[in-house]
Amino acid sequence: MAASSATSESGRQSLWYRIFYDKETRSTAIQVLTLTLLFAFFFYIIRNAVINLEAIGKGYSFKFLWEPSNYDINQTLIEYDSRSPHWRATIVGILNTLLVAVTGIIIATVVGFIMGVLRLSHNWLINKVVYVYIEYVRNVPVLLHILMVHGVIVNTLPLPRNAISIDDTFFLTNRGFYTPKPLFEPAMWAVFIAFVVGIVFSIWFNHYAKKVQDATGKIYPVIWISLAAIILFPILVYFVVGSPMSFEMAELRGFNFKGGLVLRPEYLALTLALALYTAAFIAEIVRAGIQAISHGQTEASYALGIKPNRTMRLVIIPQALRVIIPPLSSQYLNLTKNSSLAIAIGYMDIVATIGGISLNQTGREMECMTIVLALYLSFSLMISAFMNWYNKKMKLVER
């Protein structure tokens, strides 16, 4: 086709000839066709939707978001009552979803790493028990796990009046887990500033220690000094400014405990079920990651005189992480998306608030589902973006 004679002839060749035999023309034709069909398809379904909505006299408007929601929600991280508008209910739902996602991811990661390491243990018994557990969890649908954990919490824990109490401070009931709620006095800001200062200091110290180590080989106990800066320093400040914090205790009054912080059974069940389900997958990822690192790495590290725990921390784990992170990030995404199953046990997440009660009470399916889809999509994109960034940072620098 590149021959000059062909170019002069192509003017005379018909369009059909070129679509079949000229690579460039053919590519363009395929793309034009694809896009045309695609646009035609979207145009067609949107036109249908407009006609259908008009036929039953509904519009497409988000005005309802500013009307009072008329329903109550039992777990609200921000101020909310039945007079609040639907958009506020949506935010309550978003925060509840995020709460489950974040705590679930943390628990899943910790439990998953522990189980992954136990799977590599030389202890036959624990190895097999963890193996059976992982296989059980992975092969049963997550919806069943959620329903079962919820059933166990609601059916086996005691009623508030027979609460299991720890030191009359923490109470465990089938209405939730009650803990004292910290109340901050104004002077508390000094402690928060101390905390931030501690973090900034440890980041600086980390860099400094690395520079010193590169230059002289001297190793500082970085972890201990950082911990002291982040934890001990704020505590010291706390006492210096005169303990500006008190606790509001939960106490049984009437039907329920009043005051304090409460973790509701729906929240506990959803978080635990999702975390344990995801942990089983993470455990396998961790095991595969550690096993992927050749044993020669450990031996070489020992030969260099590096102590076992340093070998693990400096040689094995950084390499294993590179294998672990990509699948780990997709597990985090899965957990976030699975949190939408909250609806099965009545935890008020996005799907249950805007995609559930609001949708049902206002009858605005189109608008509500658009909001729900857009929200999940942006969560997913944010997690992917973060994980890609982290992955890039951890990537092997090829020489």
Partner 1 sequence: MSSVVEEGKTYEPGTYPDLPPPPSTVGIVGWVRENLLSSTTNIVITVLTLYFLWVILPPSINWLFLNAVFEGASRDECRAIMREAGASGACWAFIGHRFELFVYGFYPVEERWRVDLSFILMLAAIVPVLWDKTPQRGKMMIGSALAPFVIGWLLIGGFGLETVPTDKFGGFMLTLVIGVTGIVGSLPLGIALALGRQSHLPALRIVCVVFIEFIRGVPLITLLFVASTMLNYFLPPGTTFDLLLRVLIMVTLFAAAYLAEVVRGGLQAIPKGQIEAADAMGLKYWQSMRLIILPQALKISIPGIVNTFIGLYKDTTLVIIIGLFDPLGVGRASLADTKWQGLSTEVYVFVAIFFFVSCIAMSRYSLYLEKKLHTGH
Partner 2 sequence: MKLFKTLAVSAAVAMAATSGTASAGTLEDVKARGELNCIVTTGVAGFAAPNDAGRWEGFDVDFCRATAAAVLGDADKVKFVPTTGKTRFTALNAGEGDILYRNTTITMSRDADLKLTFLGVNYYDGQGFLVPKALGVTSAKQLDGASVCIQTGTTTELNLADYFRANGMSYEPVTIETNEEGQVNYLAGRCDVYTTDASGLAATRSSFDNPNAHVILPEIISKEPLGPAVRQGDDAWADTARWVLNVLIEAEELGITAGNVKGLASNGSNNPAINRITGVEGSYGEMIGLDKDWAVRAISAVGNYGEIFERNIGVNTPLGLARGLNAQWTEGGILYAAPAR
Cβ proximity to partner 2: between 276 and 357 the closer is 357
Please, which of residues 119-178 interact with partner 1 by CB under 8 A? 121-126, 129, 135-136, 138-144, 147-148, 151
Asked if residue 178 lies in contact with residue 247, where contact means CB atoms within 8 angstroms, the answer is no
Residue from 115, 194, 357, 383 touching partner 2 (CB under 8 A): that is 357
Residue from 9, 72, 168, 299 touching partner 2 (CB under 8 A): that is 72
* Binding status of residue 380 toward partner 1 by CB under 8 A: yes
Please, which of residues 322-351 interact with partner 2 by CB under 8 A? 343-344, 346, 348
* Binding status of residue 142 toward partner 2 by CB under 8 A: no
Other C-beta atoms closer than 10 Å to the C-beta of 352 total 24
* Contact stretch for partner 1 (CB under 8 A) within 41-49, 191-199, 256-264, 311-319: 41-49
Cβ proximity to partner 2: between 13 and 162 the closer is 162
Residue from 1, 6, 15, 38 touching partner 1 (CB under 8 A): that is 38
* Binding status of residue 256 toward partner 2 by CB under 8 A: yes
* Binding status of residue 104 toward partner 2 by CB under 8 A: no
* Binding status of residue 7 toward partner 1 by CB under 8 A: no
CA distance 226 to 203: 8
* Binding status of residue 59 toward partner 1 by CB under 8 A: no
* Binding status of residue 154 toward partner 2 by CB under 8 A: yes
**In the complex, least distance from residue 27 CB atom to partner 1, rounded to whole angstroms:** 5
Contacts with partner 1 by CB under 8 A lie at 27, 30-32, 34-35, 38, 45-46, 48-49, 51-53, 55, 121-126, 129, 135-136, 138-144, 147-148, 151, 333, 337-338, 340-341, 343-344, 351, 355, 359, 365-366, 369, 372-373, 376-377, 379-381
Contacts with partner 2 by CB under 8 A lie at 30, 33-34, 37-38, 40-41, 44-45, 55-58, 70-74, 81-83, 151, 154-155, 159, 174-175, 253-256, 258, 265-266, 343-344, 346, 348, 352, 356-357, 359-363, 365
